[in-house]
Amino acid sequence: MREAKFSIGQVVRHRHFPFRGVVFDVDPVFSNTDEWLTAIPEPMRPDKNQPFYHLFAENSESHYIAYVSEQNLLPDESGEPIEHPQIDEVFEETDEGGYKLRPESLN
């Protein structure tokens, strides 16, 4: 089992699609349905044996929850905040442009 490359509160962007997000949970290996995985075109289908990240995600049109393999994520170095409406329920923004869990979220 690999160690996760990205951490809770880190801002990331998708390698192929135009969206960014904040990591709010990490699965050490794929933990979704086979239907979800097979819906991804085979040439782009990620391997199950890698960390998968739950993101508060956004693109230019909407906010949503995304589930993304580690191989398809890159650190987002833009410094721009994420405007997802659920972020404030879980995170506080840091001075460095990232996010840290709110103390009440640690229970």
pTM, two decimal places: 0.92
- Residue-wise pLDDT tens digits, 69-107: 999 999 999 989 999 999 999 999 888 778 999 987 765
Position 81 in a domain: yes
- Are the CB atoms for 83 and 63 separated by under 8 Å? yes
What is the bridge-based pairing of β-strands 99-101 and 52-58? unpaired
User: What is the number of structural domains in the chain?
Assistant: 1
Position 5 in a domain: no
- Are the CB atoms for 2 and 51 separated by under 8 Å? yes
**Spatial CB neighbours of 39, under 8 Å, sequence gap ≥ 6:** none
Position 4 in a domain: no
Amino acid at 4: A
The whole-number pLDDT of residue 79 equals 87
Position 55 in a domain: yes
Please tell me the distance from the alpha carbon of residue 14 to that of residue 55, in angstroms, as a whole number: 11
Position 76 in a domain: yes
Domain interval for residue 31: 11-106
Position 2 in a domain: no
Q: Tell me the mean pLDDT in the region 41-67.
A: 95
Residue 17: how many CA atoms within 13 Å on its side-chain side? 13
